[in-house]
Amino acid sequence: MVKLAIFDVDYTLTRKETLMELFKFMIKKNPKNLIYIPRAIFSGLMFVFGIFDEKKTKETFLKFIDGIHERDLDVLVKEFYKSRLSNIIYEDAINMIKKLKNEGYLIYLISASPEFYLKELYNIKEVDKIIGTKYLCRDGIHTRCMDGLNCKGEEKVERLKEELKKENIQVDYENSYMFSDSLSDKPLFDLVGKPYLINFRKTSKDIEILRWK
């Protein structure tokens, strides 16, 4: 049996929200993307007022990737990783990844953020698997339409188990780790024997809190 070290991404591995960082990168890359700012504000307000769920919010916000060829988006996300994403990763997170990898753990990153750019985190050589929210790509053209469910909460557990089943991996959950900044990851916290909250602003009786920089 293998032991897993599971990491959320936004505010756990990184100090900023990665999707918003991608949006800012795309605006800097092409100022024409400024036209999507009202849409971004609108989608956020609809979510805050409970009119949109997270899936609808993300699909509305991600209009700026609609119609981009997968070849072109691959080039953009590689540049995004080098110029922005790699610079917002907590050093303490990387140190923990390296430590646990050296101890024989498989390193899994599981996030609700889009998988089409999270895959660049394979540049961290210790990472074994990245699981994120999927978006449809039709005939080589990217869309903002979500492929399946938003990878959050219970869906993270379902996606994890699907991947483990594909690769016929048996897991020692009692000795596995889970790191996240949010109690929305309680389903994954409950799955493992070693859960940790990262930079959590409230007190927690059940889960130890780590302060990462």
**Hey, what domains does the chain have and what are their CATH numbers?**
4-210 (3.40.50.1000)
Asked whether the predicted pLDDT for residue 96 surpasses 90, the reply is: yes
pLDDT in tens, 5-53: 999 999 999 999 999 999 999 999 999 999 999 999 999 999 999 999 9
Count Cβ atoms within 10 A of the Cβ of residue 24 and give its class: 0-12 exposed, 13-18 middle, 19 or more buried. middle
The model's pTM: 0.95
β-pairing verdict for 4-7 and 194-198: unpaired
pLDDT in tens, 154-187: 999 999 999 999 999 999 999 999 999 999 999 9
d(CA 81, CA 120): 6
